[in-house]
Amino acid sequence: MLRSKLHAPMLREDPADAEIASHRLMLRAGLIRQSANGLWSWLPLGKRVLDAVARIVREEMIHAGAEEVLAPIMQPEDLWRRSGRWDSFGAETLRARDRRDRGLVFSPTAEEAMVELLRADGALGWRQLPLVLFQTQWKFRDEIRPRFGVMRAREFLMKDAYSFDIDEAAARRSYAGMFAAYARIFRRLGLAAVPVRAATGAMGGLESHEFHVLAETGESAVAYDPRALTETDPAVAMGLWASADGENPGMPRPERIETARGIEIGHIFLLGDRYTRALGLEVIGPDGQRSFPVMGCYGIGISRIVAALVEACHDARGIRWPRSVAPFAATVLPLVPDEAAMSAARQIHDALEAGGHSCLLDDRDVSAGIKLAEADLLGLPLRIVVGPKGLARGRIEVTDRATGDLREIPVGADMIQVLGDWL
Ligand code: ATP
Ligand code: MG
């Protein structure tokens, strides 16, 4: 991709109203723009990251046995009345009336919609279970205080999954399976996320965990057993002491507890049969008996994760994208508008792209200083500088944005191999 063709308006100065690093950097690097309070558009670079996060989440959901569906964003009032949440969900739900004067809700979550989707085709058979459906869909919540850019928006992208099981023991197995999938997702994203046992609160239910990325600017206070950050066995991690807001009734405290601020990026619940019972979704057991399936629900804030990644991966000069979600794998900077540098840069760009590594070539007629500063701000994993001095010695200079490692590589046949290995 040529930088001259990429619509990425970057800002030299910090926007005055951006309070935290991710908000500031996402605006400055040209990833997002505000459309109205709490409503955001994604520019090409931001959309690439959003898609990369969604892709990893989708792959791991499918790997864990979940099936992808898509429910409408607008949900009928009647459904929310039947579940009992029309009155209880509160002012966060945005409601509308259509031309026939029927009430609609702009989906803040989709338990009702998923149960109804299954119920419409009659009772489930026990052989179909466990059944896990998921979607990646925009949600709307009329937050009292939208802030921090896409971190707390009114419209945001969520992956929401819903499990259905024959009884509580089976539902607990589905819950553990999703917990393990979440651990894999956050590892692939390059995020250290602490699982925190959470209150079941407004959703009701039997069990709940939140996943928090530790960051000074996080909105929650998290207290946790430090082993939660390094424990790789999900079954052990699930039982470790951790809590958002300092309390965890019923669990003995470990000897060491650390406290930090956290950004909630995921939340899972073992719900019981509240929704299936209220909406009349049944399962027919092996003995022909009918019962209400036991449900779990599992959210991940895809758009919030983009901000959390920036919050966790940046320095004074800009973003440092993890390789798994970077909008491009590498950027090539010909430092002078000289034909030799430009043609070497183009060759590197083309070869990387041909090798399956997305690459941004800064072909603009701007100063080396601007190119270098923008490359730092945007923070692609590898920066490849083609400068006049290096080129005279037959060398390019490659810098790893995350570690600062710098290497000179000879221009030639092996060059792409070396770069590819590094990526
Ligand atoms: P919070 O406590 O931050 O308000 P929540 O408990 O209301 O979140 P859930 O209902 O558990 O959120 O939704 C699942 C996930 O969706 C959250 O873990 C979070 O990552 C994301 N999310 C929730 N609200 C927002 C929002 N306003 N903007 C962006 N992402 C959000
Ligand atoms: Mg929550």
Highest mean pLDDT among 201-215, 241-255, 256-270, 409-423: 256-270
Between residues 252 and 38, the one the model is more confident about: 38
Check pLDDT > 90 for residue 413.
no
Between residues 18 and 420, the one the model is more confident about: 18
The ligand 1 atom nearest the CA atom of 219: 3
For residue 221, which of 241, 239, 237, 243 has the smallest C-alpha distance? 243
CB of residue 108 inside a 6 A radius of ligand 1 = no
Residue identifier of the C-alpha nearest atom 1 of ligand 1: 264
Question: Given the DSSP bridges, would you call strands 294-301 and 155-165 parallel, antiparallel or unpaired?
Answer: antiparallel
Instruction: Taking each helix axis as running N to C, give the angle between helix 339-354 and helix 415-422, from 0 to 180 degrees, rounded to the nearest 10.
Output: 60
Percent of the chain with pLDDT over 90: 81
CB 405 within 8 A of CB 381: no
Helices (H) and strands (E) in the chain, counts: 13, 24
Q: Give the per-residue pLDDT at 89.
A: 85
Check pLDDT > 80 for residue 109.
yes
Q: Give the per-residue pLDDT at 337.
A: 82
Check pLDDT > 90 for residue 417.
no
Q: Which residues contact 157 (CB under 8 A, 6 or more apart)?
A: 50, 54, 136, 137, 138, 139, 301, 302, 303
82: confidence class by pLDDT, cuts 50, 70, 90: very high
| Average pLDDT score over residue span 345-370 | 95
Say which ligand is closest to the CA of 22.
Answer: 1
| Average pLDDT score over residue span 7-32 | 95
| Average pLDDT score over residue span 241-259 | 80
Q: Give the per-residue pLDDT at 274.
A: 95
Its pTM stands at 0.96
Q: Give the per-residue pLDDT at 58.
A: 98
Q: Give the per-residue pLDDT at 365.
A: 95
CB of residue 299 inside a 6 A radius of ligand 1 = yes
Least confident of 76-85, 195-204, 385-394: 195-204
Residue identifier of the C-alpha nearest atom 26 of ligand 1: 152
The CA distance from 397 to 395, in Å, is 7
Q: Which domains can be identified in the chain, with CATH numbers?
A: 3-315 (3.30.930.10), 330-422 (3.40.50.800)
SS3 for 261?
strand
CB 152 within 8 A of CB 145: yes
CB of residue 156 inside a 6 A radius of ligand 1 = yes
Say which ligand is closest to the CA of 198.
Answer: 2
Say which ligand is closest to the CA of 141.
Answer: 1
CB of residue 158 inside a 6 A radius of ligand 1 = yes
CB of residue 282 inside a 6 A radius of ligand 1 = no
Q: Give the per-residue pLDDT at 204.
A: 62
Most ligand 1 atoms within 8 A of CB, residue of 34, 185, 222, 264 to mutate? 264
Q: Give the per-residue pLDDT at 242.
A: 84
Percent of the chain with pLDDT over 70: 98
Between residues 50 and 422, the one the model is more confident about: 50
Residue identifier of the C-alpha nearest atom 22 of ligand 1: 301
Check pLDDT > 80 for residue 202.
no
Question: Given the DSSP bridges, would you call strands 283-284 and 124-125 parallel, antiparallel or unpaired?
Answer: parallel
CB of residue 61 inside a 6 A radius of ligand 1 = no
What is the average pLDDT score of the chain?
Answer: 94
Beta strand segments in 191-257, E: 193-197, 207-214, 220-224, 242-244
Check pLDDT > 70 for residue 246.
no
CB of residue 353 inside a 6 A radius of ligand 1 = no
* Burial (Cβ within 10 Å: 0-12, 13-18, ≥19) of residue 5: exposed
| Average pLDDT score over residue span 348-368 | 95
CB of residue 141 inside a 6 A radius of ligand 1 = yes
| Average pLDDT score over residue span 384-410 | 93
CB of residue 264 inside a 6 A radius of ligand 1 = yes
